[in-house]
Amino acid sequence: MAENTYETGRLNLPFVGISTFGKRPVCLDWDAIDADVAVLGAPFDLGGQYRSGARFGPRSIRDASTLFSFGHAGAYDFEDDITYLDQSVRIVDMGDADMIHTDTVNSHANIEYGVRKILAAGSKLPGPVMLILLHR
């Protein structure tokens, strides 16, 4: 099992601090993405007339993912007896694409802009970059 964060002095437990995906670093400069995995939220539900609320999906996914940071340096899968997304996987949370209330076209363009930034970062890195788009 990987070393846990209890030995480094700062616990950064799931229920404290900033809620990023898996409690990983924030990368707000989309021209400086240096990671294996980039997480981009798309809090979009502008087309929903009756049951809106999907806009809260990325935030909820981030909150739930903080449990992966509970001292095990990743997400432990007891069935496979392996820890996924350990500290060797460089993950950054880019925040959310900007949503413009009542403007679906430009909101989608903002999501596309973030995805294009991730793809461009992948061409500068030695390995592939994975995109996790948080959308519900």
Render each residue's pLDDT in the chain as its tens digit; 136 residues.
Answer: 445 556 666 666 677 778 888 888 999 999 998 888 888 998 888 776 777 778 888 888 888 888 776 655 677 788 999 887 777 888 899 999 999 888 889 999 999 999 899 888 876 655 555 556 655 4
The DSSP letter of residue 96 is: E
Q: Where are the beta strands (DSSP E) in the chain?
A: 37-41, 75-77, 82-84, 91-96, 130-134
- Cα–Cα distance between 125 and 87 in angstroms, integer? 18
What are the extents of the domains in the chain? 5-134
**Residue 124: which residues within 8 A CB-CB, separation 6 or more?**
none
Cα dihedral 11/86/64/105 (nearest 10): 120
pLDDT value for 37: 85
Buried b (16+ CB within 10 A) or exposed e, 89-115: eebbbbbbbebeeeeeeebbebbeebb
Give the domain 5-134 fold. Arginase; Chain A (3.40.800)
Q: Which of 25, 22, 26, 24 is nearest to 66 (CA)?
A: 22
